[in-house]
Amino acid sequence: MTPIITTALLGLIEQAGTAISILIEGLERGELLRSRLTRGEVLRQLKTLADSAWQVEPGARSEMPELDWTGWDAMRPRFCGPPGEALDDALWFACEALVPATLLWLRVYQQSQPELFRMAS
């Protein structure tokens, strides 16, 4: 049985990823980086996603090996870094690579391992 906390964290990961996808839809890198409001909200959602992924227990992570847990763990401190090129690169890489892959794999796991996504005490 999956602990409720894991199910909740996976829900937060999915919600943040979906929000990011909606926010960046149709935007080029430069447009995102110049848009103060959108950029700020995307960064907030990325932090939520990375923080949630970081809290998923190793046992649950091992049940979903295709998710890039290491990538999210590596990005987490970068999202808190000072403004500049390193943060811009991290933000864009996460939006273009990590978020779409994460959402894709979450959908696969929801179908193949639905018990991971069910709230049960």
pTM for the full model? 0.93
**Dist. CA 63–CA 69, nearest whole Å:** 12
Of 34-43, 58-67, 109-118, the least confident:
109-118
pLDDT of 121 higher than 70: no
Q: What percent of the chain has pLDDT over 90?
A: 89
- What confidence score (pLDDT) does residue 117 get? 84
CB 57 within 8 A of CB 89: no
> Quick one: average pLDDT of 87-115?
96
- pLDDT category at 120 given cuts 50, 70, 90 is low
- pLDDT category at 76 given cuts 50, 70, 90 is very high
DSSP for 23-90, please give it. Answer: HHTT--HHHHHH-HHHHHHHHHHHHHHHHHHHHS-HHHHHTSTTS-HHHHHHHHHHTTS-SSHHHHHH
